[in-house]
Amino acid sequence: MFKRTARYTFFVIVYLSGILIGGVYTPEVIAYVKHSDEQKNVEKQEDLQKPPHLKKKRQRTVSVS
């Protein structure tokens, strides 16, 4: 009986500490993910804004027969 009570008490303590730690660090993790996502979007926009390399236009000679 004592072992079962001790086991359940241990599980409740672990569960509650997980909720407490998760509640403390979750906003920091969410902020980090949003910041990294914004940084990726900025990098993608910079890549899109670069003008493409233009090929040299060659004159075509057309022979009329």
User: So what's the pLDDT on residue 59?
Assistant: 72
Query: Measured between alpha carbons, how far apart are the two ends of the chain, in Å?
Result: 107
Tokens 């359940």 — which residue?
A: 8
Tokens of 9: 């008490």
The per-residue pLDDT for range 36-65, each reduced to its tens digit, is 777 776 666 666 655 556 566 667 777 776
Domain that holds residue 34: 25-49
Say if 39 falls within a structural domain. Answer: yes
* Residue 41 is assigned to a structural domain of this protein: yes
With respect to residue 31, please indicate whether it lies within any of the assigned structural domains: yes
Over residues 4-39, the pLDDT tens digits come to 999 999 999 999 998 888 888 888 888 888 887 777
Q: Is the pTM of this model over 0.75?
A: no
Domain count along the chain:
1
Determine the length of the chain: 65
What was the pLDDT predicted at 42?
66
